[in-house]
Amino acid sequence: MQRYVPKKYDHLLSGALDGLSDNQLKAHFALYEGYINKINELEGRIKTFNTNNTDTINYRGWHMEQTSMLNGAVLHELYFGNLRKGEKEPKGVLKKMIDRDFGNIQNFIGHLKLVGKIAHGWSLAALNYRTGKINVYGLERHNLNVPMMVYPVLVLDVYEHAYMIDYGTDRKKYLDVFIANLSWKQVEERLEKALSIPFGNAVTT
Ligand SMILES: [Fe+2]
C-alpha cells in the first residue's frame, strides 16, 4: 500500500494563473509525482532492510535520498498550494507580522526575491518557533540548508524546471510572475495554523 498519494492541482491549469502555461505546469506536476513515487519506493526498501546486514552501502544511499524525495514532495505541495491569482496583498495577522518583522511588505518581498535569485532550490518564509518571528530561508536543495523548528508558510520554487519552459533563463521575470500569482490568503491560513502551536525555547528540550 502506498504511503503517499499525489495531490492534484488541475485547478491551476487553463489560464487559472497569469504567466504560467499549461505546458510548464504539467511538466512540473509530473516531476512532483515522481517524488511521490520515489519516496514510496524508498520507504518500502528501508522498512524491509535487514538491520543485521553489515553491507549498508545501499541502505545509506536510500536514507540520503529519503529526505530529498520527501522534502521534494512536501515543498512542491506547499508551492502549488500557495498559487492563486488575484490576491494583491497580505491581510490580517500575516500583514501585521510582516510589518513587524520586515518593516513593510515591499521589504519582505525583496528578501523573498533576492533569496530566490541566489538560492538554487527554494526560497521560503517560515514562522520560527524559537523566536516567534517570520524568517526567509534559502535552500540549495530539497534537503540542504533545511531549518529546524520552523513552520513554512510561503514556498517559492526557484529550480530552473519551475520556469524554464515559459521563461528560459529569465528567473527575474519568473519571480515577478510568482509574486503576482501568490495566494496571500493561503499563506495567512498557514500562519494561523502555525501560531496555534505553542512555541518558545521549550520546544527544543
Ligand atoms: Fe519544482
Work out the number of other CB atoms within 10 angstroms of the CB of residue 28.
Answer: 22
The β-bridge partners of 155 are: 124
- C-alpha dihedral, 187 to 20 to 169 to 105, nearest 10°: -30
Given this model, what pLDDT does residue 198 score? 78
Asked whether residue 111 falls in the same domain as residue 70, the answer is: no
Given this model, what pLDDT does residue 86 score? 86
Q: What CA–CA distance (Å, rounded) separates 193 from 64? A: 30
Asked whether residue 25 falls in the same domain as residue 108, the answer is: no
Name the residue type at position 150. V
Q: What CA–CA distance (Å, rounded) separates 28 from 36? A: 13
Residue 125 burial by Cβ neighbours in a 10 Å radius (0-12, 13-18, 19+): buried
CA 118 to each of CA 47, 66, 137: distance values in angstroms, whole numbers, following the listed order: 37, 25, 11
Does 14 map to a domain?
no
Cα(178) to centroid of ligand 1, in Å? 13
Block means of pLDDT (10 residues each) for the chain, 205 residues, are 88 97 98 97 96 96 96 98 93 97 98 98 96 96 96 98 98 98 97 86 53
Asked whether residue 128 falls in the same domain as residue 169, the answer is: yes
Complete edge-to-edge strand list for the sheet that includes strand 133-139: 133-139, 122-128, 150-157
Q: What CA–CA distance (Å, rounded) separates 89 from 187? A: 11
Asked whether residue 163 falls in the same domain as residue 97, the answer is: yes
Asked whether residue 103 falls in the same domain as residue 167, the answer is: yes
Asked whether residue 166 falls in the same domain as residue 112, the answer is: yes
Given this model, what pLDDT does residue 183 score? 97
CATH of the domain at 115: 3.55.40.20
What domain count does the chain have? 2
Asked whether residue 178 falls in the same domain as residue 153, the answer is: yes
Asked whether residue 191 falls in the same domain as residue 149, the answer is: yes
Asked whether residue 33 falls in the same domain as residue 113, the answer is: no
Place of cell 521560503: 124
Cα(32) to centroid of ligand 1, in Å? 7
Cα(199) to centroid of ligand 1, in Å? 30
Mean pLDDT of the chain: 95
Q: What CA–CA distance (Å, rounded) separates 184 from 75? A: 17
Does 28 map to a domain?
yes
Q: What CA–CA distance (Å, rounded) separates 129 from 141? A: 23
Given this model, what pLDDT does residue 202 score? 47
Cα(174) to centroid of ligand 1, in Å? 13
Asked whether residue 52 falls in the same domain as residue 115, the answer is: no
Q: Domain limits at 181?
A: 92-204
Cα(198) to centroid of ligand 1, in Å? 31
Asked whether residue 68 falls in the same domain as residue 153, the answer is: no
Q: What CA–CA distance (Å, rounded) separates 29 from 12? A: 11
Asked whether residue 136 falls in the same domain as residue 50, the answer is: no
Domain stops at, among 48, 81, 114:
81
Does 172 map to a domain?
yes
